[in-house]
Amino acid sequence: MRGGEKTLHPRIKQNGTASTNTLRDRIQRRCSLTRTDVSAVLDALSQVMGEELADGRRVHLDGIGYFHPTLTTTEPVTEDTKRKNTKVKLKAITFRADQALKNEVGKIKAKCLEGNFHSDKITNEEIDRRLTRYFTTHAFMRRKDFQALCGLLVSTANHHLRRLCSEGKLKNAALPKQPIYVPVNGYYADNKEITE
């Protein structure tokens, strides 16, 4: 920042999600396949790609890009670690787009948007105070509830939720990919009487 002038950085403003049904319908309109055929092809593609990636191969789809698996360990591994191969798990599937796909996206349309696209500055103590008030009238909390309560973006909200769980203040009472957070006994509120 020179002379007090704030530097701006481009950021994508997400515009929803294109579902499999949307893509299937749009593909079907562009070819002679039926909707059922397109669904079958997409299912088969997912299965075959999974098999190839599981064998450690990159998968290249012409005009789309390259997919390859990346790994991590479930615990620190050293030369002396016994059964090293049992400590390895899939971390992610990494994607690198082909130029043809980038060309399909085309020229980026950019405009300056009003508003703040950063998380609010909030202390851990203030988060605790807000959660205490929240859990006096609610039995559980979703990530988007936490975001709204604290004025946070998704990544910052997830960071704080992981911290609160590791500190033993919140726990996930549902699925890992669809978490529903509830307070651990002794924190925030006694929710036994709340049925919401």
Burial letters 5-27, b for 16+ CB under 10 A, else e: eeeeeeeeeeeeeeeeeeebeeb
pTM of the model: 0.52
Say which residue the tokens 């669809």 belong to. Answer: 178
Asked if residue 10 lies in contact with residue 28, where contact means CB atoms within 8 angstroms, the answer is: no
**Has residue 167 got a pLDDT over 80?**
yes
Res. 192 pLDDT band, cuts 50 70 90: very low
Do the domains 124-183 and 20-105 match in fold? no
Domain boundaries, the chain: 20-105, 124-183
CATH, range 124-183: 1.10.10.10
**Crossing angle, helix 143-150 and helix 154-166, to 10 degrees?**
110
Asked if residue 27 lies in contact with residue 64, where contact means CB atoms within 8 angstroms, the answer is: no
**According to the model, what pLDDT value does residue 151 have?**
86
Question: Tens digits of per-residue pLDDT, 96-155?
Answer: 999 999 998 887 777 766 555 556 688 999 999 999 999 999 989 999 999 989 888 888
The radius of gyration computed from the CA coordinates of the chain, to the nearest angstrom, equals 23
**According to the model, what pLDDT value does residue 105 have?**
86
Say which residue the tokens 């971390």 belong to. Answer: 91
One-letter amino acid of 187: Y
Question: Tens digits of per-residue pLDDT, 17-27?
Answer: 888 889 999 99
Asked if residue 58 lies in contact with residue 64, where contact means CB atoms within 8 angstroms, the answer is: no
Asked if residue 130 lies in contact with residue 157, where contact means CB atoms within 8 angstroms, the answer is: no
Q: Which residues lie across from 172 on neighbouring strands?
A: 181
- β-strand 181-183 against 170-172: which pairing, if any? antiparallel
The CATH homologous superfamily of the domain defined by 20-105: IHF-like DNA-binding proteins (4.10.520.10)
Question: Tens digits of per-residue pLDDT, 40-68?
Answer: 999 999 999 999 999 999 999 999 999 99
Rounded to an integer, what distance in angstroms lies between the CA atom of residue 44 and that of residue 29?
Answer: 20
Question: Tens digits of per-residue pLDDT, 83-96?
Answer: 888 988 989 999 99
Asked if residue 67 lies in contact with residue 100, where contact means CB atoms within 8 angstroms, the answer is: no
The CA-based diameter of the chain, rounded to the nearest angstrom, is: 61
Which contiguous run of DSSP H or E holds residue 88?
A: strand 88-97
Say which residue the tokens 């990159």 belong to. Answer: 58
Question: Tens digits of per-residue pLDDT, 173-182?
Answer: 988 888 999 9
